[in-house]
Chain A
Amino acid sequence: MTLFSFINDDRGVLEPHNDILATALMIIGFVVLAAILAQTYLTYDDNSMVLRNYEEATRIAENIASFDEIQAAGPDRISAQALDTISYPISDSEAHRRFFARYADGLDLSVHITTDDGHHQWTIERYSTHTLGNNVIAASVPVVIELSPAEFASGTIRVSIQK
């Protein structure tokens, strides 16, 4: 009933201000459009950056898995003994530096290697001041770890990049 009386109101109260109302609607529409475009761009930018960083982390993880100095005697296996020397607490600082020497200085890397059963784990951090903040991208690759010449375990190399 209210709507009916409203649309049949012939007094023309709104008539002189039609153009203002139309402009207000247009401005609101423009602001909404600009907000949607900005949000879409920011989301796209964030997602593409995350994807790029993830690819980078995966590439580093694969590179570490094939790094000569931590390879065991057998093919495609990582030596737990080599990991012991460069992971925390570091017993061979020169080997630790060589481990990260292939990567650009600005790359803040942290590498966690664990066996699937969780019994063994190694943490290798590039910088002692490494602190995990909000922008960390991580990627993992599966590896086989040679715990001793007669014992092997499947595990994972997880590389975290601080951005």
Chain B
Amino acid sequence: MNTFRDLCNDRSAWIDFVLSKTALIIASVILISASYQLAQDLGGQHMEQELDVIALGLKYAIDDVGSLSYTGNEGHTYTFDRVDLGWEQPIKAYVSSEYVRIEALHQERPIHSVVPMTFRMLPFNESTLRNLLSINFAGQNGSMQEPLNSDCDQVMGTLAQTGSWEILLNTSKTVCMKKTPIYIQNNSEVSSLDLILVYQ
């Protein structure tokens, strides 16, 4: 009892001192943690931007081929040139008909950059494409000599199904791109549908 009375009558303000210093210590810990987290987040953002640059580089290369007003055997290539910038593991590049996806590890956590495509693209080479068309369209491979007897919707539906798989690209190898036409015969009219093929 005397102890409590002594405590209440103690005018040396030690409890004020202890409380204020404890609050300062807690505030400092929170502040330092927040600074650390902010720095970490900024580092993560920087890594994501690096991935965006890589993904956009491939997308723009594909778009450049898609923008060409001619089709044919002209080969276009793309080389990943920013993949050795100190990643924890080699980056992984995936393509499908709808997007380009780049994946990397940052502090043991996977980070991604996904960029949607502008032009219709398929992640395989021309012989695979012609084989797929032959299988799906009664032996017609969509070349000028063997146009597909179908309509545009059916052809696009088939291509969308086959091209929706993600293909893993080898970032140390060159990526080949080619714009190729698929000829479609609808009644007596023959029209072409341009596609970009991306393969290694």
| A residues at B contact (CB < 8 Å) | 16-17, 19-20, 23, 26-27, 30, 34, 37, 41, 52, 56, 59-60, 62-63, 66, 68-69, 94, 97-98, 101-107
Contact = CB atoms under 8 A, between A and B. Distances in A.
A103 B120 contact: yes
A83 B69 CA distance: 19
Contacts of B118: 56, 59-60, 103-104, 107
Interface of B: 16, 20, 23-24, 27-28, 31, 34-35, 38, 42, 45, 56, 63, 66-67, 69, 97-99, 116-121, 151-153, 156, 160, 186, 191, 193-194
B10 to A, nearest CB: 16
Q: In this complex, which of B35, B99, B119, B186 has the most chain A Cβ atoms within 10 angstroms of its Cβ?
A: B119
Contact of B119 (A68, A69, A104): A104
Contacts of B191: 69, 94, 98
Q: Across chains A and B, which 5 residue pairs bring their CB atoms closest together, nearest first?
A: A104-B117, A97-B152, A66-B69, A101-B193, A23-B27
Contacts, number: 78
B34 A30 contact: yes
B66 A63 contact: yes
A94 B34 contact: no
B118 to A, nearest CB: 6
Given A20-B24, A59-B118, A104-B117, A26 B31 contact: yes
Contacts of B160: 105
Contacts of B63: 56, 59
Nearest to A101: B193
B98 A34 contact: no
A8 B23 CA distance: 30
A12 B156 CA distance: 82
B45 A41 contact: yes
B97 A102 contact: no
A73 to B, nearest CB: 17
Given A27-B27, A94-B151, A98-B152, A103 B119 contact: yes
A102 B24 contact: no
Contact of A19 (B24, B153, B186, B193): B24
B20 A17 contact: yes
Given A102-B119, A104-B97, 7 more contacts: A20-B23, A63-B67, A94-B152, A97-B151, A102-B66, A104-B121, A105-B120
B151 A105 contact: no
A94 to B, nearest CB: 6
B38 A37 contact: yes
Contacts of B69: 66, 68
A101 B184 CA distance: 12
Contacts of B156: 97, 101, 105
B28 A23 contact: yes
A37 B42 contact: yes
A101 B152 contact: yes
Residue among A63, A105, A106 with most chain B CB within 10 A = A105
A34 B37 CA distance: 11
20 contacts: A17-B20, A23-B27, A30-B34, A30-B35, A41-B45, A52-B56, A62-B67, A69-B191, A94-B152, A97-B156, A101-B120, A101-B156, A102-B120, A104-B98, A104-B116, A104-B117, A104-B119, A105-B156, A106-B99, A107-B118
